[in-house]
Amino acid sequence: MEFADRVTRVEPSATLAISALASELVAEGADVVDLSVGEPDFPTPENVIEAGQAAMDAGHTGYTTSKGIPELRAAIAEKLRADGLDHDADDVIVTPGAKQALYEVVQTLVDDGDEVVLLDPAWVSYEAMVKLAGGALVRVDLSPYEFRLEPALGDLENVISEETELLIVNSPSNPTGAVYSDAALEGVRDLAVEHDVTVIADEIYDEITYGTEPTSLGTFDGMGDRTVTVNGFSKAYSMTGWRLGYFAGPAELVSQAGKLHSHSVSCATNFVQHAGVEALGNTDDAVAEMVEAFRERRDLLVDLFADEGVDVPVPDGAFYMMLPVEGEARRASGSASGGQPRVSDAKWCEGALEDAHVATVPGSAFGAPGYARLSYAASEERLREGVERLADEGYL
């Protein structure tokens, strides 16, 4: 069988692959501390589950209009308005997960050979989505700047040109947890406006920050008509398996992307959309509780690694942390054993899973070699256990 070039250009999702490996080990009876996949370990809030069940009972089991039920699109437009973005419900498309939203937007904007700029470390699927669309990747590395964007604006300026079709900005960031400052986002705005670049703002972690209020990129002057804002329900409301997300953008873009949406997924699941209305409207306390738990776990992990002599860049949002495991990254962390040529981050992660039964994702998968990404969406007890095992097996 001959396969299309577009699929042979990409690898399976590294995050999902490692999590599958961890699950296999668990099925074989191993006790794995799984810090790989980015999935909140809390149940979906009870009232959201009840809203989904009630919607099913009420017969909301057929197709919906392709763009999504009006109540949900109106609730999303209201959330975006509260963030300072001016979209009406018609400019919103509801998707089965933010991943599908990103996929559709990239397919809508990127032609063969079009340049797309990523800020590394970047979430694994951006690269694959761009490659599937035939785009050419241009990467700006934030690793030398402790993952901050502001000091990297000069590097971004060097690569953005009239050739740039699209820039993807993800704040708070997966995998670093960095929340980009307003000054950094203004710098992005200046470059995007100057070179007439469209920007995807992936704001799926916007509710999960620790003392820093992220600003939505589309709110900056000049960004309204060139920003596509992507968000979803997986992280803030712990709804990964429900598969619900959305994008909002200029009417023309939404109309073009809507064709792709209608010919691929038709619509997001009907009763799930009804649960989404409840999630947006009535979960403030549940979200605040989850965010507080994530903050405590972040602090705990930072302290536990410091006790082992490893300084990790302290994340301001999401539930990820980049652990320096090799070479330059390790040296910069001030680790006592830093600077020794160790194995690559992929080998480190492989070894940590086999020897310590701790699952993490290699930084290379995100364009950040020398690091391992840890998701701290796990209980404090498991985090302590994980760090202890890594230390005992000589991985710190």
Q: How far is the CB of 390 from ligand PMP (least distance, A)?
A: 23
121 binds ligand PMP (CB under 6 A): no
φ/ψ (deg, to 5) at 106: -65, -45
317 binds ligand PMP (CB under 6 A): no
38 binds ligand GLU (CB under 6 A): yes
Place of tokens 């794995």: 32
15 binds ligand GLU (CB under 6 A): yes
Span near ligand PMP by CB under 6 A; candidates 91-99, 150-158, 292-300, 325-333: 91-99
Q: Are 66 and 258 in contact (CB under 8 A)?
A: yes
H runs (alpha helix) in 90-196: 98-109, 124-132, 153-159, 182-194
Span near ligand PMP by CB under 6 A; candidates 96-104, 159-167, 262-270, 374-382: 96-104
φ/ψ (deg, to 5) at 358: -120, 120
232 binds ligand PMP (CB under 6 A): yes
Return all residues near 96 (Cβ < 8 A) that are at least 6 apart.
Answer: 243, 244, 245, 265, 268, 269
From 40, 135, 214, 245, residue interacting with ligand PMP (rule: CB under 6 A): 245
125 binds ligand GLU (CB under 6 A): yes
Angle at which helix 380-392 crosses helix 284-307, to 10 degrees, equals 20
From 32, 37, 85, 352, residue interacting with ligand GLU (rule: CB under 6 A): 37
315 binds ligand PMP (CB under 6 A): no
Q: How far is the CB of 373 from ligand GLU (least distance, A)?
A: 8
68 binds ligand PMP (CB under 6 A): no
Q: Which of residues 249-308 bind ligand PMP (CB under 6 A)?
A: none
Burial degree of 87 (CB within 10 A; 0-12, 13-18, 19+): buried
DSSP state of 144: G
198 binds ligand GLU (CB under 6 A): no
100 binds ligand GLU (CB under 6 A): no
Report the distance separating Cα 291 and Cα 286, nearest Å.
9
DSSP state of 136: E
Span near ligand GLU by CB under 6 A; candidates 123-131, 225-233, 263-271, 273-281: 123-131
The smaller minimum CB distance to ligand GLU, of residues 121 and 338, is found at: 121
Return all residues near 311 (Cβ < 8 A) that are at least 6 apart.
Answer: 305, 324, 333, 334, 335
Binding site for ligand GLU (CB under 6 A): 13, 15-16, 37-38, 99, 123-125, 174
Binding site for ligand PMP (CB under 6 A): 38, 97-99, 123, 170, 174, 202, 204, 232, 234, 240, 245
